[in-house]
Amino acid sequence: MNLRRDVFQAIADPTRRAILLLVASQALTAGAIAANFDTARPTVSKHLQILTECELLEQKQNGREIYYHINAKKMKTVADFIEPFRQMWDERFNKLEAIMKNYQTKK
């Protein structure tokens, strides 16, 4: 899929946000990143591909290994927008909805 990806679509996924968080503190290889998740390796690779396509992550060759770095400049544009705030509320409300649907069926 070579469509230009949207940064906000990229950070809409909790696993991708967790990856950004992980790489924020230090550059890591795909293997080291995948080791932090229960998700299958190809799924993590797919997430890395999306984050790279949106330029939130950058790949740098170091010997035989490829390390993923966070692209701080791109991250700043994300942080300046309203979208993260909206997503925070969206997640809370999704949770509320799920809890109350369950509450409804229990009654």
Q: Would you tell me which residues interact with other proteins (CB under 8 A)?
A: 11, 14, 17-18, 20-21, 24-25, 70, 72-73, 75-76, 78-80, 82, 84-97, 99-101, 103-104
Element (H, E) at 72: helix 72-80
Task: List, in sequence order, every beta strand (DSSP E) within the chain.
Answer: 28-29, 57-62, 65-70
Smallest gap from residue 51 Cβ to other proteins (A): 13
Alpha carbon of residue 2 to chain centroid: 18
Residues facing residue 70 across a β-bridge:
57
Toward other proteins, which CB reaches closer, 34 or 70?
Answer: 70
- How many residues are given for the chain? 107
Smallest gap from residue 3 Cβ to other proteins (A): 16
Toward other proteins, which CB reaches closer, 52 or 63?
Answer: 52
Smallest gap from residue 86 Cβ to other proteins (A): 5
Tokens of 76: 């700043």
